[in-house]
Amino acid sequence: MARRLVLALALALGSPVLESAALGSLPQSGIGFGSTASAQEQQHTVRSGQSLGRIAARYRVRVQDLAGANDLPVSAQLREGQVLRIPVAGYHYVRTGETLSTIARRRAVGVRELAQANRLRDNATLRPGQRLLLPGQVAEEEREEAASRWGRPRRPGVVSLVRVSTRERLSLRVLDSRGRPRSAARRRVGHLLRHRRTGGEHLPSSRLLELLVRVSDHFGGRTIHVLSGYRPPGGHTEESSHHTDGSAIDLRIPGVPNRDLRDFLRTLPDVGVGYYPNSSFVHFDVRSRSAYWVDRSGPGESPDYVRDRTAREHVDEEDAIEAREQARRPAMATETEAEPAAVEPAVATGA
């Protein structure tokens, strides 16, 4: 009843804001992860003389995206009173006849990436108006939840890194306007992640950089402390290690418990996450299939993997040193830290 009254008042006053509140989000099935459109998705009621171009300019969105969100041609003539969905950044709105393959080509992403980002099969049938999250983007709900806990990044997309052993700092925008790693940024991050003892460098994986941006934004733009990046084979580093090809990093974020960092990293697609409850970092790499392992060994000790999958999911870290390590390092570590001797399991232990 209350919604009907608000809608009647909106129509009488010609208020798009009240009308949007009364109508709520347009019902759409299979949007994002197969849910309905978020309440944060705005609507606009067309007034006399308005065009897609004028409305797009008002909401600062592309005309193409506005048309796509409403399954209209860019040249469509609008009618007074027509209700339009306002597209949300980071999403693609399916138009008539589009498939995952055609959208992937248009957006310069992989079909599998696009399907995984939306928990769809590669051959899934799409519906006009369906909203798909683009790879490398973050769902609104996830952004809001992270912002409520960790705060919003002051400069979204800007990653701040500190190499603990050398105290080098780097703060830069990693991705270009199309969501691809900038060449200069790749080189600079590769230098920061160089092998500590030999100075050897390797360009970091593009996907690793894309995901580091998500990590940074998720945790409010906090500085990421790097303990290890590129490492050549030898010693504790096996040839199969992802550290040898620039696709792995050992990190921590001051103010963020390692268990929270671990849990978020595990939500990302096709990654390896190694949790070391008796050390001060989390291992993170990109790979073709997700894997997760827990190693109870401390610094300099031989690996002590938790083999049982159920036990891995219920690691009791009350006796771990993480809490006091985090308390002791609220800011930049003051001591010189040796490169972690973490060894990835020879066999992936499963996600």
Q: Which of the listed ranges 96-110, 114-128, 134-148, 242-256 does the model predict with the highest average pLDDT? A: 242-256
Asked, for residue 193, whether it belongs to a domain, the answer is: yes
According to the model, what pLDDT value does residue 19 have? 39
Asked, for residue 324, whether it belongs to a domain, the answer is: yes
Segment 229-243 shows an average pLDDT of 90
Segment 203-222 shows an average pLDDT of 95
Question: Pick from 195, 238, 205: which is nearest to 339 by CA?
Answer: 195
Q: Regarding predicted confidence, which is higher, 183 or 345? A: 183
* Same domain, yes or no: 210 and 229: yes
Contacts of 106 (CB under 8 A, 6+ apart): none
Percent of the chain surpassing pLDDT 90? 46
- What's the mean pLDDT when you consider all of the chain? 80
Asked, for residue 161, whether it belongs to a domain, the answer is: yes
According to the model, what pLDDT value does residue 177 have? 82
Q: Which amino acid is residue 68, in one-letter code? A: G
**Distance of alpha carbon 228 from alpha carbon 190, whole angstroms:** 12
Question: Pick from 333, 320, 329: which is nearest to 259 by CA?
Answer: 320
* Same domain, yes or no: 174 and 154: yes
CA 101 to chain centre: 22
* Same domain, yes or no: 129 and 144: no
pLDDT per position as a tens digit, 289-298:
999 999 987 7
Residue 27: pLDDT above 70? no
According to the model, what pLDDT value does residue 60 have? 83
* Same domain, yes or no: 316 and 189: yes
According to the model, what pLDDT value does residue 343 have? 60
> In this predicted structure, which of 67-76, 169-178, 232-241, 342-351 has the lowest mean pLDDT?
342-351
**Distance of alpha carbon 84 from alpha carbon 80, whole angstroms:** 11
CB 78 within 8 A of CB 105: no
Q: Regarding predicted confidence, which is higher, 131 or 15? A: 131
* Same domain, yes or no: 144 and 128: no
Asked, for residue 145, whether it belongs to a domain, the answer is: yes
Alpha-carbon distances of 272 from 118, 242, 280, rounded to whole Å: 20, 9, 17
According to the model, what pLDDT value does residue 124 have? 92
Q: Examine the fold and report which residue of 133, 165, 190 is the final residue of a domain before the chain moves on.
A: 133
Residue 6: pLDDT above 60? no
Range of the domain at 173: 140-328
* Same domain, yes or no: 165 and 207: yes
Q: Regarding predicted confidence, which is higher, 2 or 283? A: 283
Could you tell me the pLDDT band of residue 285, with boundaries at 50, 70 and 90? very high
pLDDT per position as a tens digit, 38-62:
446 789 999 999 999 999 999 988 8
* Same domain, yes or no: 6 and 68: yes
* Same domain, yes or no: 99 and 151: no
Q: Examine the fold and report which residue of 76, 102, 133 is the final residue of a domain before the chain moves on.
A: 133
Q: C-alpha angle 145/290/304, rounded to 5°?
A: 100
According to the model, what pLDDT value does residue 4 have? 45
Segment 208-227 shows an average pLDDT of 95
* Same domain, yes or no: 144 and 46: no
pLDDT per position as a tens digit, 77-90:
999 999 999 988 77
pTM surpassing 0.85? no
pLDDT per position as a tens digit, 119-145:
899 889 999 889 898 876 667 777 778
Residue 345: pLDDT above 90? no
Supply the DSSP symbol for 233. S
Q: Is 255 exposed, middle or buried (0-12, 13-18, 19+ CB in 10 A)?
A: middle
Cβ neighbours, 10 Å, residue 284: 24
Number of domains present in the structure of the chain: 2
Segment 214-238 shows an average pLDDT of 92
* Same domain, yes or no: 124 and 57: yes
According to the model, what pLDDT value does residue 134 have? 82
Asked, for residue 121, whether it belongs to a domain, the answer is: yes
Asked, for residue 56, whether it belongs to a domain, the answer is: yes
* Same domain, yes or no: 118 and 152: no
* Same domain, yes or no: 220 and 86: no
Cβ neighbours, 10 Å, residue 41: 21
The token pair at 71 is 């399954």
Asked, for residue 74, whether it belongs to a domain, the answer is: yes
Segment 91-115 shows an average pLDDT of 87
Rounded to 5 degrees, what are φ and ψ at 132? -115, 130
Assign residue 267 a region (left: φ > 0; alpha: ψ between -120 and 50; beta: otherwise). alpha
The token pair at 295 is 């190693």
Asked, for residue 350, whether it belongs to a domain, the answer is: no
Segment 16-45 shows an average pLDDT of 48
Q: Examine the fold and report which residue of 96, 113, 133 is the final residue of a domain before the chain moves on.
A: 133
Segment 234-262 shows an average pLDDT of 91
Q: C-alpha angle 190/191/195, rounded to 5°?
A: 90
Q: Which of the listed ranges 108-112, 116-120, 254-258, 283-287 does the model predict with the highest average pLDDT? A: 283-287
Contacts of 75 (CB under 8 A, 6+ apart): none
